[in-house]
Amino acid sequence: MRVLAIETSCDETAAAVVDDGRQVRSSVVSSQVDLHARFGGVVPEVAGRAHLELLTPVVEEALARAGTTGAELDLVAATTGPGLIGSLLVGVSAAKAYSLAWGKPFVGVNHMEGHLHAAFLEDPDLALPAVVLLVSGGHTMLIEMTRDGRYRLLGQTVDDAAGEAFDKVARFLGLGYPGGPAIDRVARGGDPAAIAFPRGLLHDGYDFSFSGLKTSVVNYVRKRPDVELADVAASFQEAVVDVLVRKARRAAADVGARGICIGGGVAANSVLRQRVVEVCGVDGLAAFVPSRAMCTDNAAMVAATAWYRFRRDGATPLDAPADPNARLELE
Ligand code: KG4
Ligand code: ZN
């Protein structure tokens, strides 16, 4: 089953062709980072307009690189939420139009479920049950993926998402946008033990809190303007990764998971990736760490999810709306 998927929930215009939910024939991602960088963050109106200009060429490129045509597709999918409404509408409307024009079923996909499926794309034999740490710019969730492929929410952030914390701290430190990769880079030259930043909710269940950490970084730097930026970045990153990994590890032990999986943009973080592999080695668990390109927003993960959803629930009606606040279907 050949799926064309479109992803336009935020600031990446992406299209991909994936066969049978596993075989990626093409995955094209056109980043708008340069457009938004001068504003220090994503400007929704600018993003929507850019998607409108970029989408058709990106879809054409995805089809061409896959060596296929609309007629050879079996499904057309798009991310319907969560995300920016103006951006989502561009992708959803286009996918529905292609679906009508080519006479192929349409499948709407939840963006976070897409991130969950990214690991499966590269690791079809992913051992279940697994604990998944889903960490992006908008979400931070700890999920148990059960043996039958269902999701159970173990915990989530009570305030800022992990990626949001990276972006806000980077902005405060003047490291620019997007913040996660900038902190990751600068932190390489710093000492992660230099400053003992707080670990929010460390011993309290599976929920996360990052807003206190962000405030603590701001207060620390205001009091000591001469501090090494690299030490601040490394210590901040260490505080985030420490909490994420400790909770995922505890959850894996509690639910009897066979592995720990990471997904979402923050899963591209080099220290988080390294730490997950380390602790899994110690605990005798499998570590599922998708490639960086599969962690950040892309359409291949949307295609894989659409394939899975179509087999389970069938097509999505063409009058189904884009939903900026869509929630992940959890147990
Ligand atoms: O999943 P994603 O591409 O978009 C959303 O669905 O939000 O995640 C974007 C987030 C941003 O907050 C970005 O700063 C963060 O992922 N991110 C990183 C890294 N690369 C991207 N955070 C930490 N380290 C990185 N290397
Ligand atoms: Zn995302």
The residue count for the chain: 331
Bridge-based pairing of strands 259-263 and 286-288 is: parallel
> Ligand 1: which residues within 6 Å by Cβ?
10, 136-138, 163, 166-167, 178-181, 184, 264-266, 268-269, 296-297
Which ligand is closest to the CA of 262, given by its number? 1
Displacement of CA 41 from its chain's centroid (Å): 17
Q: 279 CA to middle of ligand 1, Å?
A: 22
CA atoms within 13 A on the CB side of 310: 24
Question: Which atom of ligand 1 approaches the CA of 264 most closely?
Answer: 1
SS3 track for the chain: CEEEEEECCCCEEEEEEEECCCEEEEEEEEECHHHHHCCCCCCHHHHHHHHHHHHHHHHHHHHHHHCCCHHHCCEEEEEEECCCHHHHHHHHHHHHHHHHHHCCCEEEEEHHHHHHHHHHHHCCCCCCCEEEEEECCCCEEEEEECCCCCEEEEEEECCCCHHHHHHHHHHHCCCCCCHHHHHHHHHCCCCCCCCCCCCCCCCCCCCECCHHHHHHHHHHHHHCCCCCHHHHHHHHHHHHHHHHHHHHHHHHHHHCCCEEEEECHHHHCHHHHHHHHHHHHHHCCEEECCCHHHHCCCCHHHHHHHHHHHHHHCCCCCCCCCCCCCCCCCC
CATH hierarchy code of domain 2-115+297-313: 3.30.420.40
Going from the Cα of 108 to the center of ligand 2, the distance in angstroms, rounded, reads 15
Which positions ≥6 away from 169 have C-beta within 8 Å? 179, 183, 214, 217, 233, 236
Q: Measure 101 CA to ligand 1 centroid, in angstroms.
A: 35
Q: Mutation test of ligand 1: which of 166, 294, 301 has the most ligand atoms closer than 8 Å to its C-beta? A: 166
Beta bridge partners of 17: 4, 26
Amino acid at 36: H
Q: Judge contact between 16 and 28, C-beta under 8 A.
A: yes
Nearest ligand by distance to the CA of 161: 1
Residue nearest to atom 26 of ligand 1 (CA): 269
Tell me which residue of 136, 5, 4 sits closest to 79, measured CA to CA.
5
- Give the Å distance between the CA of 187 and the centre of ligand 2: 23
Residue ranges of the domains in the chain?
A: 2-115+297-313, 124-294
- Going by alpha carbons, the residue nearest to atom 1 of ligand 1 is 265
Could you tell me the distance, in angstroms and rounded to a whole number, from the CA of residue 88 to the centre of ligand 1? 18
What homologous superfamily does CATH list for 124-294?
ATPase, nucleotide binding domain (3.30.420.40)
Cα 172 to Cα 11, 36, 115, 220: the distances in Å are 21, 17, 28, 12
Residue nearest to atom 2 of ligand 1 (CA): 265
Q: Which residues fall inside 5 Å of ion ligand 2, going by CB?
A: 136, 297
Ligand 1 centroid – CA 17 distance (Å)? 23
Q: What is the pLDDT along the chain (331 residues), one digit of tens a residue?
A: 999 999 999 999 999 999 999 999 999 999 998 888 888 888 999 999 999 999 999 999 999 999 999 999 999 999 999 999 999 999 999 999 999 999 999 999 999 999 988 988 888 788 899 999 999 998 999 999 988 778 899 999 999 999 999 999 999 999 988 899 999 999 999 999 999 999 998 888 999 999 999 999 999 999 999 999 999 999 999 999 999 999 999 999 999 999 999 999 999 999 999 999 999 999 999 999 999 999 999 999 999 999 999 999 999 999 999 999 998 887 6
Q: Do domains 2-115+297-313 and 124-294 have the same CATH topology?
A: yes
- On whether the CB atoms of residues 280 and 150 are closer than 8 A, the answer is no
Atom 14, ligand 1: residue with shortest CA distance: 180
Assigned token pair, 136: 């992006």
The reported pTM is: 0.93
178 alpha carbon, closest ligand: 1
Residue 162 and residue 133 in contact, taking contact as beta carbons nearer than 8 Å: no
